[in-house]
Amino acid sequence: MFFQPIIQRFSGARHANPPGEARIAIVSTPRSGNTWLCNMLDHAYECATREHGELALYNPLDAPWLNLPDRCIVMTHWQRAEPLPTLWKEHRFFTITLARHPLDVLISILRYAPCEGSLGWLAGQEGDERPIFGVSPESEEFIRYATSRRAKALLAVSTQWWKAQGVHRIRYEDLVRNPKRQLLQISKSLGTSPSIGFDEAVTACAMQRIRNPITARQIWPGKPGLWRTLLTSHVALRIAAAHKDVFSALGYVCNPDRTLDSRKASHNWSRIIMAKAGGLAYGSSQSVA
């Protein structure tokens, strides 16, 4: 019952969707393609041209609920707990969640972790990413983190929303394979056409165009299955065993490359972390992780 005053404080929105409205919530586990999808939808629906039109929030309850424009995107990493589901509904948000192979997610977190932005995820629930600053995928530090309560809490975000009724579900792998198709499906379900064509949005938000020394850590070549070149079978299976529920709920399997040895895995990781910020690294794709 504690959340009722919060809902009352932010309520008052109309329940009928005005013509042309596009309020979009992207809520998923970090490093699942959230930023890339947000950029493409923002470009197509021109959300950022409006005040409060594009919001990336550690805590979605901080959104200016009573001052949101008719077209806006809120991106967050927040578990499915009240009052958030009620607020999304009250303010007519179309909710999207992304799923990505859990081992690719954890590798992407490792690559991103030295950026202190990760420390704000889930308001520090179950710890943070400091233990993996500067370590490698095969290190005991990473394995401890990847099987920890912190990793479980982060992976639970997509899992919880993925199972919720009325949520639009997208697999990162499908988004990489055909981003325009996924955008068209969103538009159809949303019931509002974009202001700018999706072909242009995909091109404008391609990684080669938006990646620069400032965004290099957040945006990197997130080729689906990259984990298979960085985790030996022993390590991959050990981590996957800690997240059996996530693999099952999201429909992923752990099928490591059993020919990969630690020396080769280490070499592949070195190629990634040594890649120049302005170029495409090992295993490149048109994706933003």
pLDDT grade for 207, boundaries at 50, 70 and 90: low
pLDDT grade for 246, boundaries at 50, 70 and 90: very high
Give residue 172's pLDDT: 97
Give residue 17's pLDDT: 59
Q: pLDDT tens digits for 156-190?
A: 999 999 999 999 999 999 999 999 999 999 999 99
Give residue 216's pLDDT: 46
Element (H, E) at 27: strand 22-27
Give residue 124's pLDDT: 93
Q: pLDDT tens digits for 23-61?
A: 999 999 999 999 999 999 999 999 999 999 999 999 999
pTM of the model: 0.87
CATH number of 4-13+22-100+159-210: 3.40.50.300
Give residue 4's pLDDT: 44
Task: For 240-274, give one letter per residue: b (16+ CB within 10 A) or e.
Answer: bebbeebbebbebebebbeebeeeebbebbeebee
The pair of three-digit structure tokens given for residue 207, joined into one six-digit string: 């990684």
Q: Which residues have a Cβ under 8 Å from the Cβ of 35 and sit 6 or more positions away?
A: 56, 75, 218, 219, 288
pLDDT grade for 283, boundaries at 50, 70 and 90: very low
The residue extents of the domains of the chain are 4-13+22-100+159-210, 102-158+212-273
pLDDT grade for 116, boundaries at 50, 70 and 90: confident
